[in-house]
Chain A
Amino acid sequence: MNQIFQAQIYVTLRPSVLDPAGTAVQSGLTHMGYSNVEQVRIGKYVELTLTAPDQAAAQQQLDRICDQLLANPVIENYRFELKEVADEVNR
């Protein structure tokens, strides 16, 4: 029986890539008085649900989706959390 999973995907810039937007936000925070804030890096968050026979299959497919489209491996890393939300009949 197929299961429905929800994925929460975090895409972040690789440490070696400059993040001028993060730097700009950090300078805004400094102006606000938060001079103790450093290392601001801005990434992306993607949510999706997918139907798969089991967790391992879902994970495998999600890795491909991230590598091929959601993240650009040249400049970005990704990680995701996967949880089962329903099986198909109880939807």
Chain B
Amino acid sequence: MKFGVLVFPGSNCDRDIAMVVRDLLRQPTRMVWHEDSDLSDLDVVIIPGGFSYGDYLRCGAIARFSPALQATLKHAEQGKFVLGVCNGFQVLTEAGLLPGALVRNRNLHFICDRVALRVERTNLPWTQNYYPGQVVTLPIAHGEGCYYADSQTLEELETNQQVLFRYCTSAGEAIESGNPNGSLHNIAGICNRQGNVLGMMPHPERAADPILGNTEGIHLFKGLLALTGAAVA
């Protein structure tokens, strides 16, 4: 399974992602410069965290118009996989691949922490290696991660089971005390209707290498591989 990691000026998690898919999972991986417009060789496009184009205007707003992102829209249209992490999630909402928007954290703080998340749905490749309701701990690092959408959109997300990850307490309750940034419905990660595009604020790639003490994030990447029967190292 071939992975491509988009690199914008200001991306800073691109090599972390590549380290996971190329070095830990031994999959063919290439970095995709933001000016590249041919992604036809890729099975999975990953938009990494960071501050694309300096986050000028709004997070992800300028990245949306790059040739690589335009090609990503086509990639997604074909039903192929797209993962946006952190700034990548912001880019996906700005581009309209996912509904809603990410706005300033409720408490105005840039939050760098490890938080509990509840896995809400496991019948998609992304989450098939988790069990429903499983509470995992993943790192977050963002200033604008408060998920916002109007009430109709939220209702659609819930009805169509598009919420894959929700902030929760360590006991797995998706309540206010488990919500770090004010996200509506405690939303930490959502997919599109078809399920091939996932955006999430937490960083699964930062919880993949055993040397870092937490490998709960690698199952997300392994879930994709299981789909194609690609060999996992």
Q: What residues of chain A have their CB less than 8 Å away from a CB belonging to chain B?
A: 16-21, 24, 69-70, 72, 74-75
Contact = CB atoms under 8 A, between A and B. Distances in A.
Interface string B144-155: 001011100000
Contacts, number: 36
Interface of B: 57-58, 61-62, 65, 93-94, 99-101, 103-108, 146, 148-150, 182
A72 B101 contact: yes
A34 to B, nearest CB: 20
Contacts of A16: 150
A75 B105 CA distance: 14
Contacts of A74: 93, 99-101, 148-150
Count chain B CB atoms within 10 A of each CB in A16, A24, A69, A74 and give the residue with the most: A74
A20 B57 contact: no
Contact of B107 (A20, A70, A72): A20
Given A69-B61, A72-B61, A74-B149, A21 B93 contact: no
A25 to B, nearest CB: 10
A74 to B, nearest CB: 4
Given A18-B106, A20-B108, A72 B58 contact: yes
Contacts of A70: 57
A72 B108 CA distance: 20
A69 B101 contact: no
Contacts of A24: 108
Contacts of B107: 20
A20 B101 CA distance: 15
Contacts of B104: 19-21
A20 B108 CA distance: 6
Given A20-B107, A21-B108, A75 B101 contact: yes
A69 B93 contact: no
B156 to A, nearest CB: 14
A21 B182 CA distance: 14
A20 B149 CA distance: 16
Contacts of A21: 104, 108
B194 to A, nearest CB: 20
Contacts of B148: 17, 74-75
Nearest to A24: B108
Nearest to B107: A20
A69 B93 CA distance: 13
Contacts of B108: 20-21, 24
Nearest to B100: A74
Count chain A CB atoms within 10 A of each CB in B99, B104, B107 and give the residue with the most: B104
Nearest to A75: B101
A69 B146 CA distance: 20
B105 A69 contact: no
A32 B99 CA distance: 40
B65 A69 contact: yes
Given A21-B108, A69-B62, 5 more contacts: A18-B103, A20-B106, A70-B57, A74-B150, A75-B101
